[in-house]
C-alpha cells in the first residue's frame, strides 16, 4: 500500500486497532478468562477485531471529514464505555453484563450501588485511546487534506472484516462446537466471540423474547389452565406431608443413567453404594430425563417448574426474566431457606441470573468453596470434597432448608486422577464409554461419603434425600460400544430406554433399613416438583404444572421427550414409529395415537407459557375473572 492509501484509511483504522488492542489488554488484566491452549489465546486475541472493523468502517460512508471524525470519536467513546461498564460490573459480580440484568428492576438498586463502589478516578486510563484519538485528529486536520475513501478500498476493507469474522467463528466452532445454539456460559461466549459480538448476540436474544412476550396476553392461559385442572391427580394420602418440615436435599447426579445401576464391569459393581441405597429408598426405575440442549440447566428447570425446557437453546439463558412458580418459592413460603450448591463458575448456564427468577435465597458457587488443584479434576472441584465442604455449609444453614446440589466429576470427557479410579476401565472402541464407568464409580463413592457425613453431622435424620440423574452421559455417537456392553443392538427403542435416569427418594425413618421399594411407574423429571412438594406437605392443586405426583395412585404412566418421543406403560414412540415394550418391536401406529396428542399439547402449552411469560398473569391477578369481564 502506498503512503497515500494508508492515510485515507487512517483514522477509522487507527481507532479500530487501538480499541482492539485495548480490549485484548482488558481481557488479560480486568477479566479472569481461563485459557487452556494456544488456539484459545489466538481466538481471544482476534475476536474483537472483526466487529470493530465493521463499526468503524461505517465512517467511510460519510463524505464530510467533520462528520466522519465525529462518528469515529463517538463510536470509540461508546464502545469504550461499554467495555468499561463491563470492567466495573466484573469487579463486583465476576460476570459480564446482560440486558436482562440491566432491566431486572429488582436488581437495579443493588447494581447501581455495587457498580459505583467499583469506579475509581484513575479508571480514566481505560479511555486513553479516546484521548489519543482526539489529539491525533486535531493534529492531522492541520497537515492533511481530506480525501473520501475510494469504493475499491472500502470493499477491500470490508472483505478483510468479513474474512476475520468467519475466521473467528470457524475457529470458535472447532474449539467449542454448538457455541451459539447451546449458549452455555457467558465467559465462553466472550472468550470465543469477543465482548462486542457477545453484546450483539445478547441484544438479539433479548429482543426476540421481548417481542414474543409483548404479544402475549393472559387469554392463552385459559386453555392451559383448563388442561392442567383436568389432568390434576390427587396426592397419595399416606405420602402427603410424610416429610413435612424436614430439610430437603436434592442431589443432581451428573450424567448418571439408570443402566449403570445394578450392573458391573468385568464383575465389579459400577455403583455399589447406590445399589444398596436404593433398597433403603423409593427407587423409580422407569424414570426418564427430559432435557434438551440446556442439559443440566434444563433438568433444573424441569425440577423447579414442572414445565418443559425449550427445544432449542437453554431456557436458563433465553427466559431468565420470566415469572415462575418454582419449587424453591413454594418452599420459601413455607419457611424454608433455599439454595443451590454447585462448585462451578456461577455464570455457567446463566445460573446466577436465572436463580434470582427461581427465587433461591443463595447460590453456593465456586467462590464459596475452597478449590485447590489437588482436589480438582476436569471441570473443577471433585465430588468428594464438594460434598464434604457442602455439608459444612449446611450445618450453618437456617433450618428447615431446601438445597439442590449439583455434582460434576462424572462429566464428559470423564477423566479422573489415578487415585480416584476404583474400578478398571471398560474395553471398547469408545474411550468415553470406557472411562464413564470409572467416573460413575467415583461419584458413587462420593455419595456414600456424603450420606455418612450427613449422619456424622446430625443432619441425616431430619432430612429427606433425593437424587436424580440430570441427563444422559453417553450419547448416540457411542452406540457401537454401548451395544457391545449391553450385548444387544442399540435400536431406536433401546436408545429411548437408555434415557432412563435414577430417581431416588430416601426418607430416614421411613424407607431405610430395607424398607425401600422399587416403583416401576413411567415418569420423568417433569414429575419431580409435584412429587416432592407433596411429600413436604405443600399442595400443588392451583399450580400450572405438567407433571404428576409419582406416588399418586392416579399417576398416568407417561413421559415425553423434548423431541416429541414418548413412553407409556406399554409403548415407546420415537422416530415416527410405535414400539411395543414387551416385544421391543414396531407395532401398529394407532396404538400410540391416543398419546401423541397429549405429548404435542403438553409441549406446546409449556412453550406458550415460557415464550409469552404467561405466569406473570397467573401470579398477578385473577386472570379468569378479568377475562370473563372482557368477554362479556
Determine how many CB atoms are found less than 10 A away from the CB of residue 42.
15
- Binding to Mn ion by residue 330, rule CB under 5 A? no
Residue 437 binding target from Mn ion, ligand GP9, none, CB below 5 to 8 Å by type: none
Residue 344 binding target from ligand GP9, Mn ion, none, CB below 5 to 8 Å by type: ligand GP9
Q: Which of residues 282-341 bind ligand GP9 (CB under 6 A)?
A: 295-296
Grid cell digits, residue 413 = 470427557
Q: Which of residues 387-426 bind ligand GP9 (CB under 6 A)?
A: 406, 408, 411
Count, residues near Mn ion per rule CB under 5 A: 4
Count, residues near ligand GP9 per rule CB under 6 A: 9
Q: Which range touches ligand GP9 (CB under 6 A), out of 83-91, 342-350, 423-431, 489-497? A: 342-350
Residue 406 binding target from Mn ion, ligand GP9, none, CB below 5 to 8 Å by type: ligand GP9
- Binding to Mn ion by residue 296, rule CB under 5 A? yes
Give 126 or 379: the residue with its C-beta nearer to Mn ion. Answer: 379
Residues 6+ apart with CB under 8 A from 451: 273, 277, 460, 465
Q: Which of 271, 296, 403, 540 is catalytic?
A: 296
C-alpha–C-alpha distance, residues 382 and 378, integer Å: 9
Residue whose CB is nearest to Mn ion in the complex, by number: 296
Closest CA to 302 of 93, 610, 553: 610
Q: With contact defined as beta carbons under 8 Å apart, do 514 and 293 qualify? A: no
Q: What is the DSSP string of 548-569?
A: --TTSTT---EEE-TTS-EEES
Grid cell digits, residue 362 = 443463595
Residue 348 binding target from ligand GP9, Mn ion, none, CB below 5 to 8 Å by type: ligand GP9
C-alpha–C-alpha distance, residues 39 and 17, integer Å: 21
Give 183 or 511: the residue with its C-beta nearer to ligand GP9. Answer: 183
* DSSP state for residue 507 in the 8-state scheme: -
C-alpha–C-alpha distance, residues 632 and 628, integer Å: 6
Q: With contact defined as beta carbons under 8 Å apart, do 301 and 340 qualify? A: no
Instruction: Please list the residues that pair with 603 across neighbouring strands.
Output: none
Output the smallest distance, CB 406 to ligand GP9, in A.
Answer: 6
- Binding to ligand GP9 by residue 344, rule CB under 6 A? yes
Residue for cell digits 436424580? Answer: 468
- For ligand GP9, the binding residue among 27, 348, 566, 623 (CB under 6 A) is 348
Output the smallest distance, CB 291 to ligand GP9, in A.
Answer: 8
Instruction: Mark whether 296 is an active-site residue.
Output: yes
Residue 236 binding target from ligand GP9, Mn ion, none, CB below 5 to 8 Å by type: none
Give 399 or 412: the residue with its C-beta nearer to ligand GP9. Answer: 412
End-to-end CA distance of the chain: 75
Give 21 or 366: the residue with its C-beta nearer to Mn ion. Answer: 366
Residues 6+ apart with CB under 8 A from 198: 96, 186, 189, 190
- For Mn ion, the binding residue among 298, 300, 329, 470 (CB under 5 A) is 470
Range list of β-strands (E), 446-535: 463-469, 503-506, 517-519, 523-524
Residues near ligand GP9, by CB under 6 A: 295-296, 342, 344, 348-349, 406, 408, 411
Active site residues: 296
Amino acid at each position: 500500500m502506498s503512503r497515500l492509501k494508508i492515510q485515507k484509511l487512517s483514522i477509522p483504522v487507527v481507532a479500530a486497532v487501538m480499541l482492539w488492542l485495548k480490549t485484548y489488554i482488558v481481557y488479560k488484566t480486568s477479566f479472569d478468562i481461563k485459557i487452556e491452549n494456544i488456539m484459545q489465546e489466538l481466538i481471544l486475541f482476534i475476536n474483537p477485531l472483526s466487529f470493530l472493523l465493521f463499526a468503524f468502517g461505517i465512517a467511510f460512508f460519510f463524505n464530510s471529514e467533520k462528520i466522519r471524525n465525529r462518528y469515529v470519536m463517538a463510536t470509540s467513546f461508546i464502545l469504550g464505555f461499554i467495555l468499561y461498564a463491563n470492567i466495573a460490573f466484573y469487579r463486583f459480580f465476576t460476570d459480564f453484563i446482560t440486558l436482562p440484568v440491566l432491566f431486572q428492576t429488582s436488581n437495579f438498586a443493588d447494581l447501581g450501588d455495587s457498580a459505583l463502589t467499583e469506579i475509581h478516578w484513575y479508571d480514566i486510563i481505560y479511555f486513553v485511546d479516546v484521548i489519543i484519538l482526539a489529539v491525533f485528529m486535531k493534529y492531522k486536520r492541520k497537515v492533511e487534506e481530506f480525501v473520501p475513501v475510494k469504493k475499491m478500498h472500502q470493499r477491500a476493507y470490508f472483505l478483510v472484516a468479513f474474512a476475520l469474522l468467519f475466521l473467528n467463528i470457524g475457529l470458535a466452532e472447532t474449539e467449542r462446537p454448538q457455541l451459539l445454539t447451546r449458549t452455555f456460559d457467558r465467559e465462553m461466549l466472550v472468550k470465543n466471540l469477543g465482548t462486542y459480538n457477545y453484546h450483539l448476540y445478547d441484544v438479539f436474544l433479548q429482543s426476540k423474547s421481548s417481542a414474543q412476550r409483548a404479544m402475549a396476553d393472559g387469554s392463552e392461559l385459559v386453555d392451559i389452565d383448563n388442561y392442567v385442572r383436568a389432568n390434576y391427580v390427587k396426592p397419595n394420602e399416606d405420602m402427603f406431608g410424610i416429610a413435612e418440615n424436614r430439610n430437603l436435599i436434592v442431589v443432581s447426579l451428573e450424567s448418571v443413567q439408570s443402566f449403570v445401576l445394578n450392573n458391573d464391569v468385568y464383575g465389579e459393581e459400577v455403583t455399589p453404594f447406590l445399589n444398596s441405597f436404593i433398597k433403603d429408598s423409593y427407587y423409580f426405575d422407569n424414570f426418564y430425563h427430559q432435557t434438551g440442549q440446556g442439559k443440566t440447566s434444563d433438568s433444573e428447570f424441569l425440577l423447579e417448574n414442572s414445565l418443559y425446557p425449550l427445544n432449542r437453546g437453554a431456557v436458563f439463558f433465553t427466559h431468565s426474566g420470566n415469572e415462575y412458580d418454582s419449587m424453591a418459592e413454594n418452599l420459601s413460603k413455607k419457611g424454608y431457606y433455599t439454595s443451590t450448591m454447585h462448585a462451578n463458575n456461577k455464570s455457567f448456564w446463566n445460573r446466577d441470573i436465572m436463580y434470582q427468577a427461581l427465587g433461591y435465597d443463595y447460590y453456593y458457587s465456586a467462590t464459596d468453596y475452597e478449590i485447590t488443584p489437588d482436589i480438582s479434576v476436569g471441570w473443577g472441584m471433585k465430588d468428594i470434597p464438594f460434598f464434604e465442604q457442602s455439608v459444612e455449609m449446611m450445618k450453618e444453614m437456617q433450618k428447615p432448608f431446601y438445597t439442590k446440589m449439583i455434582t460434576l466429576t462424572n462429566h464428559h470427557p470423564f477423566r479422573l486422577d489415578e487415585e480416584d479410579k476404583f474400578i478398571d476401565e471398560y474395553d471398547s472402541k469408545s474411550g468415553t464409554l470406557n472411562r464413564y464407568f470409572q467416573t460413575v464409580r467415583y461419584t458413587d463413592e462420593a455419595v456414600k461419603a456424603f450420606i455418612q457425613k450427613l449422619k456424622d453431622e446430625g443432619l441425616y435424620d431430619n432430612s429427606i434425600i433425593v437424587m436424580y440423574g440430570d441427563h444422559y452421559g453417553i450419547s448416540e455417537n457411542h452406540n457401537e460400544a454401548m451395544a457391545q456392553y449391553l450385548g444387544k443392538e442399540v435400536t431406536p427403542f433401546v436408545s429411548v430406554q437408555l434415557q432412563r435416569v435414577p430417581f431416588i427418594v430416601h426418607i430416614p425413618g421411613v424407607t431405610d433399613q430395607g424398607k425401600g421399594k422399587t416403583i416401576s411407574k413411567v415418569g420423568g423429571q417433569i414429575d419431580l416438583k409435584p412429587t416432592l412438594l407433596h411429600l413436604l406437605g405443600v399442595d400443588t392443586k392451583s399450580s400450572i404444572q405438567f407433571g404428576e405426583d409419582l406416588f399418586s395412585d392416579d399417576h398416568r404412566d407417561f413421559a415425553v421427550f423434548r423431541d416429541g418421543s414418548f413412553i407409556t406403560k406399554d409403548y415407546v414412540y420415537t422416530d415416527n414409529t410405535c414400539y411395543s415394550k414387551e416385544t421391543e418391536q414396531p407395532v401398529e401406529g394407532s396404538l400410540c395415537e391416543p398419546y401423541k396428542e397429549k405429548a404435542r399439547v403438553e409441549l406446546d402449552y409449556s412453550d406458550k407459557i415460557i415464550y409469552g411469560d404467561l405466569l406473570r398473569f397467573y401470579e398477578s391477578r385473577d386472570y379468569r375473572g378479568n377475562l370473563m369481564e372482557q368477554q362479556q
